[in-house]
Each structure stands twice: as structure tokens, then as C-alpha cells.
């Protein structure tokens, strides 16, 4: 029994640094307005950027002219924030790991956009963008208010207005 307990503790203690806390993963932190940990924030921000870029690349191919214009803006802005986040981590100002690929949840969202019917793509893309930007605004607001890394907290605060603008643009796109 002692060996099993020690093994369980060892497994939990050596979980990857980019593993997400239960509160952030389940949405409890968001519902309660609790700031994510630095590791959770970096993971979620990077995942959001990757999904925005990949889904918008699809929209440039499959979308309406309005979606293509929106997608171009998403690719530009989220490439910029990805670069900034990577610089914060690589400089040592932020101790966290940036995921190299989409997690299963984000990949599943992207896979839903591969429907060959344009009318289904349009609704799925705009709806996903609204949802993704609501989540991103919540994440960045919570970290900007209560995050534990001063540089990352400042970056989250200065990035937030762009995400709020993206949310408004996505909501407008969803109405079309």
C-alpha cells in the first residue's frame, strides 16, 4: 500500500508543466472569476492562438468574402500574440511551457470545420469564433486582474482590447 501511495504521489508530482489545473480545465475558475495559474494561462493563450490561426486559414479557403476578411485579421493578430507570448517565455520572463500542437479539444473544434458544405462551414466558423473569443476575453481579463507574473499580467492587459474587438467582430460576423 505504501508503494502504491508513493507511486501515485510521484506520478502527480512529475506531471508535465503544461498540464492544466482541474479548475481551469473544467471551467470552474472562469465561472468563479479566478485567475488562472501562469502555466494554465500560457497553455490556454497559446492553444487559442493556434486554433484561431488554423481555423482562419481554413476560412480563407472556404469562407465567404466577409469571413475571409475576418480570417485574415485573425491570422495577423494571433500570429502577433503568439510571437509575443513565445518571446516572453523564451526570454525567461515567464516560466511556462508552450504547447507544440493543438490538444484534443481544440483539434476536435478544428475538425468540425472540415465539412465540405460551405453553408455549414460559415455557421460553424462564426459560431466557433464567438465562443473562442468569449473564452479568450475571460481568460485574459482574469489573468490581467489576478495573475501572478507581472510581465505576463501586463501583456494580458494590453492584449485584452484586441480580443474584445475580435469578439465584437465575430459577433457581427455570426449575425450575417
Q: What is the pLDDT of residue 116?
A: 66
In this predicted structure, what is the pLDDT of residue 118? 72
Give the per-residue pLDDT at 19.
Answer: 44
d(CA 56, CA 173): 13
Q: Do 45 and 94 touch, CB atoms closer than 8 A?
A: no
pTM: 0.80
Q: What is the CATH number of domain 18-175?
A: 1.20.1260.10
Predicted pLDDT at 168: 96
Q: What are the per-10-residue average pLDDT scores of the chain (176 residues)?
A: 40 39 50 80 96 96 92 97 97 95 92 79 90 95 95 97 97 84
The residue ranges of every structural domain in the chain are: 18-175
**C-alpha atoms less than 13 angstroms from C-alpha of 132 in its C-beta half-sphere:** 29
Amino acid at each position: 500500500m505504501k508503494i502504491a501511495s508513493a507511486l501515485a504521489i510521484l506520478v502527480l508530482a512529475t506531471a508535465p508543466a503544461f498540464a492544466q489545473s482541474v479548475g481551469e480545465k473544467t471551467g470552474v475558475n472562469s465561472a468563479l472569476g479566478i485567475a488562472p495559474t501562469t502555466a494554465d494561462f500560457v497553455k490556454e493563450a497559446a492553444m487559442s492562438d493556434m486554433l484561431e490561426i488554423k481555423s482562419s486559414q481554413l476560412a480563407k479557403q472556404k469562407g465567404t468574402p466577409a469571413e475571409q476578411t475576418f480570417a485574415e485579421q485573425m491570422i495577423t493578430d494571433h500570429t502577433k500574440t503568439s510571437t509575443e507570448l513565445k518571446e516572453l517565455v523564451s526570454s525567461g520572463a515567464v516560466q511556462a511551457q508552450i504547447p507544440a500542437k493543438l490538444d484534443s479539444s481544440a483539434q476536435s473544434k478544428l475538425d468540425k470545420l472540415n465539412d465540405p458544405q460551405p453553408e455549414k462551414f460559415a455557421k460553424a466558423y462564426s459560431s466557433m469564433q464567438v465562443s473562442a473569443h468569449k473564452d479568450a476575453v475571460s481568460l485574459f481579463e482574469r489573468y490581467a486582474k489576478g495573475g501572478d507574473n507581472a510581465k505576463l499580467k501586463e501583456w494580458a492587459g494590453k492584449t485584452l482590447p484586441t480580443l474584445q474587438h475580435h469578439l465584437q467582430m465575430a459577433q457581427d460576423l455570426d449575425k450575417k
